[in-house]
Structure 1
Amino acid sequence: MYPVKLVTLFLSVVWLLSLGAITVRGVSGPGAWPYTPWSTNKAQVKNARGETVTIVGANWPGAGETMLPEGLQYSSARSIVERLAQAGFNFVRHTYATQMIDEIEEGAVPGKDVTLAWALKNGLGLAAGTNVLAQVLKNNPQWTAETPRMKIWSDIANLERDNGIMMHLDNHVSKPMWCCSNTDGNAFFGDRYFDIARWTRGLSKMARWAIDHPNVASMSLRNELRPVEPATAAVEYSWTAWASNVTAGANAIHTANNNLLITISGLSYDLTLAPITRELDLSVVDQKKAGTPPVYFRIDDHAWHEKAVLELHSYDHKGITTPCDIIEANLYNNGFNALGITPPLGCASGPTSSTVDPTGKVACYPAKRLTPVWLTEFGQKQTDPILHLNTCLRDFTVKHKIGWAMWAAVGSYYTRQNTADFDETWGLFTHDWSAWRNQTTFTGWWMQFIQQMSPTNVEKPQAASPPPKLSSVP
C-alpha cells in the first residue's frame, strides 16, 4: 500500500492536470491559452477544450538567404507582431528553409547554431550583411551579433504567444531562396537541392524545437510541390512518389512531437489534392504500366490520422473572370470536398463522364474521408483593386468557416532574386514596415474579412485586472 501522503500528492497532481493548472511541456492544456494540443475531428480542428478553432492568418517569409524572418532591419519584432495582432490575425505561417537546420547539424561544431551576424553576412555578403546587422540590432536591442539564429525564431514565437497568435512552421524550400519555380532545384523530392534525408531530419528537428512553444500547434511537410525542369530520370514527379515521401515526412514529425498538426500539400504548386481526397488508386492516376500494384494514400492508415490537415493555395495570375459558383466547384474538386460541404452551385447535378456539362457546370466528386482543409496562400498586389478570385475566396471561406493565411505580411526582403532590399508589392506593409501599404484596402477589405471569420476560438482572453489593494482587513 502506498503511503497516504504519496497517494494524496498523486491525486492532487491528477486533479491539477485535469484543470490545466499544470502545463505539460509543449502544450498548454485545456486550462490556458492556446488550449493545445490541437487535434482533428472529421473536418474540424479542435483545441484541448473540444472547441472548433479557425485560423485567420498571414504568411511571414523567412526562407530567404539569411533564413531570418524578414523586416527586422526596419522594425522591431515586437512591433511587427503587435501590428498583426491588433489587425485581428491569430495565425502566422512562417516559412523556413531546410538548410537552416543543416547549418546547425553539419557546421564546424555539430549541434551549434550560427549567429545573427553570421546569418546576415553569409546571406547578404560581408558589406551588406554588416550594414543590415547594425540596423537589426538598433531596432531589436535585446539581441546581439552573437545571438543564435534559432533564439531569434524562439523570441518571435514567444512574442506571438504573448499577443494571441499561433505560429505555424512551413518548410518552404531546402536551399534558401525566393520560391518558387520548376527550375530552382527545390521543386520535388530528390531535386537538385531537395535531399530527402536532410528534409526529414529538418522536419524532425523543427518538430522538437516546437515542444518549447505551446503556440506552435502545427507545421507543414512542404510548400508547393511541382514538376522539375528540365525533367530528369532521378526525380519521379508523381502521386505515387508524393505518397511515399509524405508518409515519411509525417512520420518524422509525429515521432518527434506527436502533439503537432501536420499540414499536407498537394501537387501542381499545391493547387490540387484531388486524387488524395477521393482515395483513388495513385498508380492509375499516374498512368503506371499494366500490372503495377495499386497504391492508395489513406490518412486513417497512419498513427497521425487525428493530426492531418490538408492545405491548398489559390492565385490569379491571368485575370480570372469565371463565375464564383464555378470557381467554388473547382475548389471543391481540388480538395475542399474533404470538408464534407454541400457541392457548390457550380457543380453539375451529378458526376458525369465529362469534365464540364453542357451548362458549364463542373462534374463534382465527394471525398472519401472528412478532413480539415486550410487555404494557406492567396493574395495579390496591395495597390490593385481586389481581384475577382479573391472576392470569391473570401465568400467561400467565410461561408464554410475555412481557415486561411494570406500572402503576405511583409514590406520588403533583405534580398530577393539578387536584388537587395527588394520591395514587395504583394505585402501588407509599406517598404519600411512602418504602416499598411494600402490603408484603404486593408481596413475596408482585409480587416472586414478578418472580422467576418469571428469567432475563431483562438482569441486569447484578456488578463484580468488585479484586485484592488485594501488598506485594512476586517
Structure 2
Amino acid sequence: MKLFAVILSLASAVSAIWPNGPLVTDGRYIRDTTGKNLTYAGTNWPGHGEVMVPEGLQYQSIETIVARIKSVGMNAIRLTFAIQMIDEIYANGGQDITLQKAFTQGLGQANGVKILNQVLAKNPRFTAQTTRLQVFDAVARELANQQIYVHLDNHISRGEWCCSGTDGNTWWGDTYFNTANWVRGLAYMADHGKNWTGLVSISLRNEPREATNNARLVSTSYNWQSWYEFMKQGASAVNKANPGLLIFLSGLSYDTYVTPVFEGTNLTPGSAKFSFGDFPGYANKLVLEIHNYETSINSCSSLQNNLFSKGFKAMTSAAKNVFPVMLTEFGFQMDATTWKNTYSTCLSTYLPAQKAGWTIWVLAGSYYIRSGTQDYDENWGLLNHDWSNWRSPSYIQGQFTGMVKNTLS
C-alpha cells in the first residue's frame, strides 16, 4: 500500500504541470486539473489593429515585454485578434501573409518598411517572411515560458481600432461582421492554439453593440434572442475545434451587462431562457465577461452595485444560473493622480474581494496605427510610449501591484 501511495503521489506530481489544464468551471469558480481555484489578474495585449500583429514589437522584444508583465505578478494576457486575419489566410490558399506584406498593407509602403525593420532589429528571430501567426506563436511561447496564461479574444472582424456604433463591426450581419466568417475564424484560432501551452480560454466576441447607422439590422436582430443563437454557434465551433478551452460569453451594449443570462429571464423578444443544456458536453466551460468604464463615478457603493447587478451576481447563490465572471476590460488615464480616484480605488478592492478575474485595458503604450494616426500614443497604457517602462510608476507601486497580489492570494 505504501508503494502504491508513492506511485500515486509521483503520478500526481507529474500531471500537475503548468498550466494544469484543461480548465473547467465549477459553479462560480474556475478550477485546474489539481482542483485548485484559478483567477486571472492580467492585462490586454492588442493584436487586432490594421497590421494584425501584437503591438509594441518595434520598440521592445517579446521577451522584454513579457518579463515586464511578469515583474508585477500578472498571470494572464487577453490577446486580441481580428477575423480579417483568418479571412486573408483562406483567401491566400491557406497560407498566412508575411510581416512584410502585413506592415506595408497596414501602414503604407514607406512607413511599413521602416517599422518592420525596427521590429526585426528588436526581435531578430523574425524575418520579413515571417508570418503574422508565427509572431502570435512566439508571443504565446514566451508567455508560456514565463507561466502567463493566454486568453484569446476575437476583438473585431475588420482589423482596426475598436469600437463604435458606426464601424461596421458592431453586430452579426453588420458591414464587416460576416457570421460564417466569424464562426470559421473562431474555429481556426481555437485549433491553431492547440500548440500554445498556455492557451486556456477564448472570448467569442468583444463588445457586441447596437449599429447606430443600421436601423434595419437593429430592428431585426439586435436583441438577446439573436445573441443567444449566435453565441451557441460560436461556442459549438470553438468546442469542436479545441475542447480544452474555456469559452467566454460577452453581453450587449458594449458588453456592459449579461443580466438575462444569469437571472434566467426571457431572452427577448422571445420567451426562451438561457440553459446550460444548450451547450451539451461543455456546460462546464462557460464563463461570463463584462466591461466597465464608469471612470467618473464618485460612489464606490454605486459602482459595486452596478457591477453586481450587471454581472457579478452570477457568482452568487442569488443567481438562477451560476457562472464565474471576469471584468475583461476596465481602465483609465495612466498619470500620477487618476488612479487615486473612486473608480480605480474601488475596483482595486472590490475585484480581489470577489476573487473575480480581470484584465485591465491596456498594456500598450502605443500602437502601430490607431484611427489613422501612426505611432499613436496610448495614455491609458500601462507602459510608456516605447514600452520601456511603466507610464505611471506611482500607480503600479501604489495600487496595481497590490491589486494583483490580493486577487491571486
1:253 maps to 238
1:380 maps to 332
Name the amino acid aligned to 1:259: G
2:358 maps to 404
1:330 maps to 306
Higher fraction of helix: 2
Judging changes above 3 Å, is the alpha-carbon distance between structure 1 residues 231 and 93 closer, same or farther for their aligned structure 2 residues? same
1:233 aligns with 2:233: no
* Identity within the alignment, %: 40
Task: Describe how 1:54-133 pairs up with structure 2 within 5 A.
Answer: 54-107=39-92, 110-133=93-116
1:389 maps to 343
- Provide the C-alpha distance between the structure 1 equivalents of 2:303 and 2:372, rounded to a whole number of angstroms: 36
1:354 maps to none
1:437 aligns with 2:398: no
1:310 aligns with 2:273: no
Which of 141, 150, 162 aligns to 2:124? It is: 141
User: Are the aligned partners of 1:36 and 1:214 in contact in 2 as well (CA < 8 Å)?
Assistant: no
- Provide the C-alpha distance between the structure 1 equivalents of 2:289 and 2:189, rounded to a whole number of angstroms: 19
1:6 maps to none
User: Are the aligned partners of 1:429 and 1:436 in contact in 2 as well (CA < 8 Å)?
Assistant: yes
User: Are the aligned partners of 1:379 and 1:407 in contact in 2 as well (CA < 8 Å)?
Assistant: yes
Instruction: Note the C-alpha offset of 1:156.
Output: 0.6
List 4+ stretches of structure 1 deviating above 6 A: 14-17
User: Are the aligned partners of 2:211 and 2:217 in contact in 1 as well (CA < 8 Å)?
Assistant: no
- Provide the C-alpha distance between the structure 1 equivalents of 2:308 and 2:294, rounded to a whole number of angstroms: 17
2:369 maps to 415
1:166 aligns with 2:149: yes
- Provide the C-alpha distance between the structure 1 equivalents of 2:283 and 2:133, rounded to a whole number of angstroms: 30
- Provide the C-alpha distance between the structure 2 equivalents of 1:234 and 1:265, rounded to a whole number of angstroms: 19
Instruction: Note the C-alpha offset of 1:131.
Output: 0.2
2:3 maps to none
Task: Describe how 1:341-380 pairs up with structure 2 within 5 A.
Answer: 366-380=318-332
Instruction: Note the C-alpha offset of 1:20.
Output: 7.0
- Provide the C-alpha distance between the structure 2 equivalents of 1:154 and 1:82, rounded to a whole number of angstroms: 17
- Provide the C-alpha distance between the structure 2 equivalents of 1:186 and 1:237, rounded to a whole number of angstroms: 13
Specify the SS of the correspondent of 2:255: coil
Name the amino acid aligned to 2:84: Q
- Provide the C-alpha distance between the structure 1 equivalents of 2:394 and 2:217, rounded to a whole number of angstroms: 50
2:4 maps to none
- Provide the C-alpha distance between the structure 2 equivalents of 1:180 and 1:77, rounded to a whole number of angstroms: 26
Judging changes above 3 Å, is the alpha-carbon distance between structure 1 residues 430 and 302 closer, same or farther for their aligned structure 2 residues? same
- Provide the C-alpha distance between the structure 2 equivalents of 1:17 and 1:310, rounded to a whole number of angstroms: 36
Residue by residue over 1:301-322, the C-alpha shift from the partner in whole angstroms, topping out at 9 and shown as x without a partner, is 31221000000111025x211x
User: Are the aligned partners of 1:311 and 1:376 in contact in 2 as well (CA < 8 Å)?
Assistant: yes
1:298 aligns with 2:275: yes
Residue by residue over 1:210-266, the C-alpha shift from the partner in whole angstroms, topping out at 9 and shown as x without a partner, is 111121000000001110021332452111110000010000100111100001100
- Provide the C-alpha distance between the structure 2 equivalents of 1:65 and 1:17, rounded to a whole number of angstroms: 49
User: Are the aligned partners of 1:120 and 1:130 in contact in 2 as well (CA < 8 Å)?
Assistant: yes
- Provide the C-alpha distance between the structure 2 equivalents of 1:335 and 1:300, rounded to a whole number of angstroms: 21
1:214 maps to 197
User: Are the aligned partners of 2:83 and 2:156 in contact in 1 as well (CA < 8 Å)?
Assistant: yes
Instruction: Note the C-alpha offset of 1:332.
Output: 1.3
User: Are the aligned partners of 1:378 and 1:390 in contact in 2 as well (CA < 8 Å)?
Assistant: no
1:42 maps to 27
Q: CA RMSD in A?
A: 1.7
- Provide the C-alpha distance between the structure 2 equivalents of 1:161 and 1:244, rounded to a whole number of angstroms: 34
- Provide the C-alpha distance between the structure 1 equivalents of 2:350 and 2:86, rounded to a whole number of angstroms: 37
User: Are the aligned partners of 2:266 and 2:273 in contact in 1 as well (CA < 8 Å)?
Assistant: yes
Instruction: Note the C-alpha offset of 1:377.
Output: 0.5
Judging changes above 3 Å, is the alpha-carbon distance between structure 1 residues 399 and 233 closer, same or farther for their aligned structure 2 residues? same
Instruction: Note the C-alpha offset of 1:106.
Output: 1.3
Unaligned runs of 5+ in 1: 1-13, 22-29, 287-292, 342-365, 456-474
- Provide the C-alpha distance between the structure 2 equivalents of 1:422 and 1:157, rounded to a whole number of angstroms: 25
Unaligned runs of 5+ in 2: 1-6
Task: Describe how 1:255-294 pairs up with structure 2 within 5 A.
Answer: 255-283=240-268, 286=269, 294=271
User: Are the aligned partners of 2:297 and 2:303 in contact in 1 as well (CA < 8 Å)?
Assistant: no
- Provide the C-alpha distance between the structure 2 equivalents of 1:17 and 1:220, rounded to a whole number of angstroms: 35
Specify the SS of the correspondent of 2:272: coil
TM-score by length of 2: 0.94
Residue by residue over 1:420-463, the C-alpha shift from the partner in whole angstroms, topping out at 9 and shown as x without a partner, is 100000001110111111111111111121122233xxxxxxxx
1:244 maps to 229
User: Are the aligned partners of 1:427 and 1:437 in contact in 2 as well (CA < 8 Å)?
Assistant: yes
> Which has the greater radius of gyration?
1
Name the amino acid aligned to 2:333: K
